[in-house]
A and B are shown apart, each in its own frame.
Chain A
């Protein structure tokens, strides 16, 4: 064995003739069962492509068939699935290298999807596989290796490899690349020790940076898929494929692909510097914007801004970044938001005082671990980012969970005795880092935080007698998943965007705050419901195709706002047209002509995911309920911090609050807002073709072609005819 060093045992091997990718598809998926060391190919037929397109759609469909209604995240039949999508692997258009991971989540107990950059998905497809599904639990630690040029899949025993995602991906590149030039042909998926001792483990997907000459990481962060990965005793999935070209995806119309791609590159060249400067600072520019609009989570989402927030602005981070380098996480992504800190010295932990490199923080990390925990210290945020990646932890779930624990500490629910001596005040960066190290080491209070907000609520109520209603109000989770980092209090549409998101409150389905609360473009419930149909479906489309959302609206054509009225401009029509061209050019499908065709393309996968939730015991109206902290002020302190705004809103709603105490006003406002949320839910369910309980109707599933016998049976069991 060329790649096997002494002592590396081969547990299973499968040889195949690598198929030629045709019009975006390899037309087969790779199935691996670690319990029995089975490796097989499964065909992808036209109906699967028509109905579920690829990426997240394929992941959902494969998992739907793999699990039982009773499957828990740690059961052998649960799977970790990664898939690209038909457009995935395109090099000519920015943001076309995403992989979408799907599994049953340890946090939510239901199906989760999480998208990630890096080279894995595209290389996997060019190796001959539209998706990889890994089922079973290995009896010993393993690495799965796919050689796409030789047509070889191996399961290798991996007893001695580290799990640390700072070291392991580098080792894998050295081990599986036959020459220095081949390093960029190797991509791995790894997790880390934190993923083993928490429910918020991530998948790190690697790519080799030819300029910096080290391995970079991108993260499938949401929902604890890394925890499932480590529970299966997988140390790494590795794919190697050499020979990427501009037509590796075998597009139907390369000329148009080249035309639309180079047009978009040029637009980014001209527009990015005058718009968001993603090439200069990635998403860190959002901190200032969110703080300015009172949307930056501060102290567990109590407030939307803070006087120290400028310490977390982009300008505090850019001096750390090495610039002048094309920082796309897949070839041809000229929006290039994947910044890197090439030299960083942690103050704590196993890499204390060593010079390391860190993939630069996203806004979510800055807001989640920074402002939301009251930590206005860019070095501490970078250090937490470094250790979260290395340990395999989701910075969003970690930040939101820690912020919750900190509020519980300040409310007296936790104390030093209960935290093992840690003073979990807002702003305590040392305690934050200590919690991270504790999760990785499975010691102390850290692993409790690593269970996430939902489980902490139960533990604090049961063990410490905390008021369950208070915990429910301030615990920023829905469906078991922690909120991503935007304050939704003033945008009811965004409250719905979070509450009705299939996987839980992640902003990748809808981000409507400006449209709704700032620009007032969707005033009625029907308008909001339309937005909560269009945008989740539109954004789902990216996940079906292996695309990143950012080049859609984080850069816009110069005339976008002049050419279109605001509500239309928010959809960025020229870019939507680009995507139609892109899809047609790759797949050759001529029946896709207008924006509505993209929306219709997403509906089957989106609705199957909703039904998947139902099947796993969720998926009804009660599970779309959101914590009041995401809707309005829970405490008098919060109310008083923005009393003028809330008083005016009560007045506007015709509620007489004269002479009322703040506590009474909090209640009045709450009744009003909670009622409006229910009205919104009604409108959205109707627009999506769901029952008032939030279940897709029989007519909807028929229309979408997902009225499979088991779906019909599921609907019958829930009284839907």
Chain B
């Protein structure tokens, strides 16, 4: 599965990735609308990014969250009822909501930020698939 990964030691903390992300997906520069967030505290830099673990798939009441062929977890806006269960249950705090829309958003490993990152701190890599969620097992008839 495709996952955006972050190398903190290379990051310049300029948050250009956040601008790229919001511009790509929301056509505006707004850090609150970026799926990636660079956090820096006490000299330590981290990034809040979706790991594509898929736990949100199991909390979505409408099956709006599913994994695509690249292994990326995506939200179907037509099915989403805006309950924000996924926002509250994301173990990484990486499912986000902005009040301009009732549909949450997250990193889909599109790679836009990778291309614009001047220091090479970001990369989309192919990782082994996450364990199947209960929903995916049920879908495959394994339950």
Chain B hits for A244, CB < 8 A: 81
Contacts A92-B82, A245-B82 supplied; 7 other A-B pairs, CB < 8 Å: A92-B83, A92-B84, A258-B84, A266-B88, A324-B138, A326-B61, A331-B62
Q: Does the CB pair A331–B61 fall under 8 Å?
A: yes
In the complex, the answer to whether A247 meets B62 with C-beta atoms within 8 Å is: no
Contact with B along A309-344 (1 / 0, CB 8 A): 000000000000011111010011010000000000
Interface-side segment among B8-16, B19-27, B95-103: B95-103
B85 in the interface (beta carbon within 8 A): yes
CB distance from B95 to the nearest CB of A (A): 9
Asked if A210 is an interface residue, CB under 8 A from chain B, the answer is yes
Is B63 positioned at the interface, with any CB of A under 8 Å from its CB?
yes
Contact of B84 among A184, A211, A246, A328 (CB under 8 A): A246
Q: Which residue of A184, A246, A322, A324 is within 8 Å of B83 (Cβ)?
A: A246
**Distance from B108 Cβ to chain A, minimum over Cβ atoms (Å):** 20
For this complex, 10 residue pairs linking A to B, each with C-beta atoms less than 8 Å apart, are A91-B81, A91-B82, A91-B84, A210-B61, A246-B103, A258-B102, A326-B59, A331-B62, A331-B83, A332-B85
Q: Interface on B for A, CB 8 Å cutoff?
A: 58-63, 80-85, 87-89, 97, 99, 102-103, 133-135, 138, 143
Among B60, B84, B138, point to the contact of A262 (Cβ < 8 A). B84
Q: How far is the CA of A92 from the CA of B102 in the complex (A)?
A: 9
Dominant SS among interface residues on chain B: loop
**Interface assignment of A48: CB less than 8 Å from any CB of chain B:** no
Identify the A interface with B (CB < 8 A): 91-92, 184, 210-211, 244-247, 254-255, 258, 261-269, 322-326, 328, 331-332, 334
Chain A residue contacts of B81, Cβ below 8 A: 91, 244-246, 331-332
For the complex, give the distance between the alpha carbons of A264 and B88 in Å. 7
A265 touches B87 (CB 8 A): yes
A324 (CB) vs chain B CBs: closest residue:
B134
Residues of A within 8 A of B133 (CB): 324
When chains A and B are docked, how far (Å) is the Cα of A642 from the Cα of B23?
72
Contacts of B62 in A (CB 8 A): 184, 210, 331
- The docked-state distance in angstroms from the alpha carbon of A325 to that of B61 is 8
**Given A264, A266, A268, A323, which contacts B134 in the complex, CB threshold below 8 Å?**
A323
Q: Which of A92, A262, A322 has the most CB of B within 10 A?
A: A262
Q: Chain B residue with minimal CB distance to A212? A: B138
* B89/A325 in contact, CB under 8 A: no
* A43 and B85 alpha carbons, distance in the complex (Å): 35
CA distance A591 to B59 in the complex (A): 35
Which of A92, A263, A324, A326 lies in contact with B60, CB distance below 8 A? Answer: A326
Interchain CA distance A246-B89 in the complex, whole Å: 17
| Cβ A262 vs Cβ B97 within 8 A | yes
Q: Known A265-B88, A323-B134; judge A332-B99 contact (CB<8 A).
A: no
Nearest chain B CB to A23 CB, angstrom units: 16
Residue of B nearest to A96 (CB): B83
Task: Say how far A355's CB is from chain B's closest CB, in angstroms.
Answer: 15
Contacts A254-B102, A334-B89 given; does A261 touch B84 at CB 8 Å: yes
Q: Is B63 within 8 A of A210, CB to CB?
A: yes
Q: What is the chain B residue whose CB lies nearest that of A326?
A: B61
Q: Which of B63, B82, B99, B135 contacts A324 (CB 8 A)?
A: B135
Cβ contact within 8 Å between B99 and A258: yes
In the assembled complex, the Cα of A244 lies from the Cα of B61 at a distance in Å of 12
Bound-state Cα–Cα, A91 to B103, Å: 12
A157 to B63, CA, bound (A): 36
Question: Contact: A269 with B61, CB < 8 Å?
Answer: no
Q: Please indicate the chain B residues that have their CB under 8 angstroms from the CB of A322 in the complex.
A: 143
Give bound CA distance, A261 to B89, whole Å. Answer: 12
Measured CB to CB, the nearest residue on chain B to A269 is B89
Query: Chain B residues near A328 (CB, 8 Å)?
Result: 61
A115 to B135, CA, bound (A): 30
Across-interface contacts of B89 in A (CB, < 8 A): 265-266, 269, 334
Task: Choose from A255, A265, A266 the contact partner of B99 (Cβ within 8 Å).
Answer: A255
Q: A407 vs B14: C-alpha distance in the bound complex, in angstroms?
A: 77
Q: Which residues of B contact A265 (CB under 8 A)?
A: 84-85, 87-89
What are the nearest 7 A-B pairs in CB distance?
A246-B82, A265-B88, A324-B134, A246-B102, A332-B83, A255-B99, A266-B88
A residues in contact with B135, CB < 8 Å? 211, 324-325
Complex interface: chain B residues within 8 A of A91 (CB): 81-84
- Residue of chain B at shortest CB distance from A323: B134
How far apart sit A328 and B84, CA to CA, in the bound complex (Å)?
Answer: 13
Give the complex CA separation of A489 and B59 in angstroms.
41
Known: A264-B88, A326-B59. A211 touches B83 (CB 8 A): no
Cβ contact within 8 Å between A326 and B82: no
Complex CA–CA separation, A332 to B99 (angstroms): 17
Of the listed residues A184, A267, A322, A332, the one surrounded by the most CB atoms of chain B closer than 10 A to its CB is A332
Give the residue name and chain of the A residue nearest to B61 (CB): A326
A324 to B59, CA, bound (A): 8
Q: A264–B83 Cα gap in the complex (Å)?
A: 11
Alpha-carbon distance A210/B61, docked complex (angstroms): 8
Residue pair A325, B134 in contact (C-beta under 8 Å):
yes
A432 to B108 Cα, complex, angstroms = 56
Interface centre among B59, B81, B82 (most CB of A within 10 A): B82
A286, chain B: closest CB distance, angstroms: 24
> Is the pair B59, A334 in contact by a Cβ cutoff of 8 Å?
yes
User: Within the complex, which residue of A254, A266, A324, A332 is in contact with B61, where a contact is CB–CB below 8 Å?
Assistant: A332
Determine if A326 and B85 form an interchain contact, defined as CB atoms under 8 angstroms apart: yes
With A326-B60, A331-B83 already in contact, the answer to whether A269 and B102 are too (CB < 8 A) is: no
Alpha-carbon gap, A244 to B80, bound state (A)? 8
Known contacts A247-B102, A254-B99, A326-B61; A332/B134 CB under 8 A:
no
CB neighbours (8 Å) of B60 from chain A are: 326
* B residues less than 8 Å from A246 (CB atoms): 80-84, 102-103
Chain A residue nearest to B55 (CB atoms) is A269
Contacts of A326 in B (CB 8 A): 58-61, 85
Q: Which of B83, B102, B103 has the most CB of A within 10 A?
A: B83
A245 to B85, CA, bound (A): 13
